[in-house]
Amino acid sequence: MITSRRELLAFVAALVVSPRPGEAQPQPRRRAPTIDPLRRECGTCVMAGFSGLALPRTLATLLDHDALGGVFLLRPRRPGIASEHVRALTDDARLRGPRDAPALVAVDQEGGVVARLTPPMFRIPTARQLGTIGDPALTERVAAAAGASLAAMGVSLNFAPVLDVRTARNPLIAPRAFGTDPAVVARHGEAWIRGTQRSVAACGKHLPGHGPTRADSHAALPRVDLDRAHVMANELVPFRAAVAAGVDTLMLGHLVYRAFDARLPASLSPAIATDLVRRELGFRGVVVTDDLEMGAIRTVGGAVRATVSAIRAGVDLALVAHSPAVALRAIDALVAAASRDEALRRRVHESSERVRALRRTLATRMAGASPQPPDVSALERELRDRL
């Protein structure tokens, strides 16, 4: 049984490197050594990101042991790379674990400049463009086409829609938000969720909302001083609607909302992750952090420490989007902390079960997905006419 990081790394060293695009897929391998159940559950609470089209060996080993919640495709496309090469990568990740609950494969495919997969992937308009058109039925069709295209590539989770309400304070979020009216954002968010979840999972982000912030959480920790009544009547309206629409996942942003927690960012705050999201909004799905390698989290201790804090707070899935090595250290830290803290161990178990339940749901949802992307030519013509 593998119980330590040293044993895990030794096993990694013995593996054959994952194939490059176009090479043969891995053959069925001998049964891997068993792994400590706590390490498996802690790993299930982490999603690790990487660039390129080859699955890093460290992550492949974790997936072989069903000891990673999923992978995030940071930069999987470059000129000259065909869609089937992306599918080869996602198959390599998803087929290593249990077939009835394969690991999550996630991307940011909001539209506009936030699109990890480039053409021939369907080019999605920005949320602002869809909100300006003002037709939620069109938004739903766009999301359905995007979801079917992602499913054809083997992607199971799209970190969209953005449910932030646009304000003049934050120009960075402007093209990514459906509008300035919370009710408009809610309607388009619900439509996006319905369309996406015909094929894959959607994610409403960045709760409680980046609209009122000035600082960019990629570099600093934003703080919002609005009172609770204002936030509940404005910023949280689209998130409440998303929960009612059955969104699979919600992403917590790295920003301090003083009305709920004057000290901790939402992604690390029990007052938000548990009291607000679970008890007030009644959300029962998977709660995920924004990338824990962002600058906002470096100001409060960094990704490894934040992983433990996030799970303790009530988050289910800690996203470490850039470095597999940091993700492995985060899992180590979570194992060490949970082995000493029974309450945290129970939290890890609860969250790992919630992540696995989503994975089983998506295995069923994607079972009939076509390996061919949908024909979106008519939809693209309509968008050109209406934009």
Catalytic residues: 218, 290
Which two tokens mark 330?
Answer: 């985060």
Two structure tokens written together for 296 = 């906002």
Beta-sheet pairing, 203-207 with 109-111:
unpaired
Could you write out the DSSP letters of every residue in 209-248? Answer: -STT--S-TTTS--EE---HHHHHHTTTHHHHHHHHTT-S
Element (H, E) at 252: strand 249-252
- Alpha carbons 119 and 93: distance in angstroms, whole number: 22
**H helices of the chain, where?**
5-13, 37-44, 57-64, 83-94, 127-133, 136-152, 182-196, 228-233, 237-244, 270, 295-298, 303-313, 324-340, 342-365, 377-386
User: Distance of alpha carbon 24 from its chain centroid, rounded?
Assistant: 29
Q: What interhelical angle do 5-13 and 57-64 show, nearest 10? A: 110
Sequence-ordered list of residues with C-beta below 8 angstroms from that of 273, at least 6 positions apart, any chain? 252, 266, 267, 287, 310, 313, 314, 315
Q: What is the dihedral of CA 245, 149, 178, 74, to 10 degrees?
A: 110
Alpha-carbon torsion angle 356, 361, 366, 367, nearest 10:
100
Cα radius of gyration rounded to whole Å, the chain: 20
Record the tokens describing residue 353, joined without a space: 């079960």
Return the DSSP state at 175: G
Phi/psi-derived region of residue 197, left when phi > 0, alpha when psi is between -120 and 50, beta in every other case: alpha
